[in-house]
Structure 1
Amino acid sequence: MTETLLAEADWTARAEAHRSRVEQFIEPHLRRARAGIPHPVWDFLFRYYSLRPRQLRVWHPGYGFVLGGSSRSYLNRAGYGPHPAGVTVTAEYLRSRVDTVEFIATLLRATADRSPRLNCFGMHEWAMVYRAPTVRHGQVPLRLGAAGTDEVVESMPLRCTHFDAFRFFTEPAAAMNEGPLSRRDQPEWEQPGCVHANMDLYKWCYKLGPLIASELMFECLELAADARALDMRASPYDLRDHGFEPIAIETPAGRAAYIRAQQDIAARATPLRAAIGDHCDELLVAAMVAVGN
């Protein structure tokens, strides 16, 4: 991976453009947070995913880029170090993150190599409340009520392939899934049609931290937001008061609508997954070269 020097005017313009996009994205969340108003759809992007708004605001060029000019403020950020021409993410930091890079590369390649499955119909949210005394989003009602929700779960196969959705299933729902999922077996199950696997591209970007460009991470965040909206429209919750028209997956028309939306999310995720995977491969080569030196 060759080094690329970014002139101060260039990288500061990119950093400002990133910050502007982020501020527009997070402003409604911050406004609600200040007022103490929870949101059953959008809070997920800031609570389940661990990157905080202050971290999201910070622009990173990615490994292999040198920030020229007045860039010394980046020396206070994890992973950065001095360079004769400015500041850069260090080879030492890259080496410390090799295990993470390898895991992400392996998972994304395994996912991309599978055919997308489009027959889960977003049932994971239903499985999370199946025969449960309470629901995860207590401030919104179940569209079909508790008994009606249970009937839908019992009428359709559970075909979840994503461990981080499966681990929230109620015990009786987990026993109904087509397979017992585990963290260890994650690369053997994930597939590119899964809305949650595509949502998690955002997570893999911020796990890579300053090693990957913030522009790519923000694209994945925008995809995650749209995937989350689909996720909750197909859920058992009645979110019409929040502006989300339900996708009634208990009906043939609803299942067809879900598949069309799922295909759109998967198509948008494909080039993003490939870009992250390619960058991981480049990082692993760069780490080997750094060790050799």
Structure 2
Amino acid sequence: MMGTTTATTGTETVPTENATATTVLAEADWRERAERHATRVDAATSEHLRRRSAGERHPVEDFLFTYYNLKPARLRQWHPGAGTLLAGEAARDRLSERFYTEPRGADGGVGLDVPAFLAARPILDFVERLLSSVASRPAHLGCFGLHEWAMVYRTSEVRHGQVPLRLGHEGTDRVVESHRIRCSHFDAFRFFTEPARPLNTLRPTREAQADLDQPGCLHANMDLYKWAYKLAPAVPSELVMDCFDLSREIRELDMRASPYDLLAWGYEPVRIETAEGKAAYMEYQRDFAERGAVLRERLLDVCRSLRAHASV
């Protein structure tokens, strides 16, 4: 069975060897999208690049470029995503890039070589299972960001040595000891200090990540950015940046609710050790869970598209 490709500049359909519908972008359209993306990335990364050049460190925003290790130059590269062909002579320049091909019968369009991509990126199964599992669960909103407190519990070796603790070491320890800690995310739990680990009611592991991650978790929602760029260039770059922007906002809350005093960097604390702070944290968390659910579903759509294109 042959599928159809619909050009974005008219109603003409072009048969391709795919059994799934494929969008064709006219050259003027995809060039405009690529330029908009570059402008968006430049605005989001310019301060980081300036600081990096000056040898300056930032306790909040560096995380987006260190823990999440996609370089700004790679983030700036625009990709249309799976199921989209680029028309025009200039599109042939993309053939020098990994995973781009010119399908037979595509009337010169250039797009993602799905079989080659899937052969080189076996992570799709894990990502799709993880995203689907998280999407199926209700959001738990009562963790209050205590993972950051557990990372500095009963230790003088804190992760951000240049930033003071709001309540000092003893005050920070008292907050940890006076709360029930229920961290479900392995990549937060693995940074707990040894004395803090037994205080967690869960025992997250990498193998159990799909069974434990839940949509209210700040880190599970920040990680949407990681899964988006790990599946690039199959994920449209606009979606990667939507995930980046959400991750950036969540990171700010993560650190504002942490034990660190970030007033010198312009961040007002969310004092989760108080009732008012807990209520504020949960409101932020609820909003992020709702917005993360939308992005998670968009990423799942990409996974489904890859499956569909690979099955023909």
Find the aligned partners of 2:57 and 2:99 in 1 and give their Cα distance. 34
Residue from 57, 60, 64 that aligns with 1:38: 57
RCO (CA 8 Å, sep 6+): is it higher in 1 or 2? 1
Q: Which residue pairs with 2:97 in the alignment? A: 77
Q: Give 1:151's aligned amino acid.
A: R
Report the equivalent of 1:229.
252
Farther-moved stretch of structure 1 (126-135 vs 13-22): 126-135
Q: TM-score, normalised by structure 2?
A: 0.90
1:261 aligns with 2:284: yes
Q: 2:22 maps to what in 1?
A: 3
Structure with greater helix share of residues: 1
2:272 to 219, 244, 249: 249
SS in 2 for 1:136: coil
Correspondences of 1:44-193 after superposition (within 5 Å): 44-69=63-88, 70-83=90-103, 84-97=107-120, 99-193=122-216
Report the count of equivalent residues: 289
Q: Is the 8 A contact 1:98 1:287 kept in 2?
A: no
Q: Which residue of 1 aligns with 2:305?
A: 282
TM (normalized to structure 1)? Answer: 0.96
The 1-side partners of 2:139 and 2:23 are apart by 37
Gaps of 5+ in 2: 1-19
The separation in 2 between residues aligned to 1:95 and 1:207, in whole angstroms, is 12
> Match for residue 4 of structure 2?
none
The residue type equivalent to 1:44 in the other structure is F
Task: Give 1:74 deviation, angstroms.
Answer: 1.5
SS in 2 for 1:66: strand
Please say if residues 101 and 284 of structure 1, whose CA atoms lie closer than 8 Å, have aligned partners that are also in contact.
Answer: no
* Structure number, greater radius of gyration: 2
Structure-1 separation of matches of 2:52 and 2:202: 38
1:75 and 1:198 map into 2 onto residues whose CA distance is 34
2:34 aligned residue: 15
Give the aligned partner of residue 203 of structure 1: 226
Asked if the contact 2:68–2:226 (Cα under 8 Å) also holds between the matched residues in 1, the reply is yes
In 2: Cα distance, 1:271 partner to 1:40 partner: 28
Contact (CA 8 Å) 2:85, 2:110: kept in 1 or not?
yes
Which consecutive unaligned segments of at least 5 residues does structure 1 have?
A: none
8 Å contact from structure 1 (residues 94, 287) kept in 2: no
Q: Is the 8 A contact 2:83 2:305 kept in 1?
A: no
Determine the C-alpha separation between the residues in 1 that align with 2:64 and 2:35. 22
Q: Call closer, same or farther: CA 1:281–1:97 in 2, change over 3 Å.
A: farther
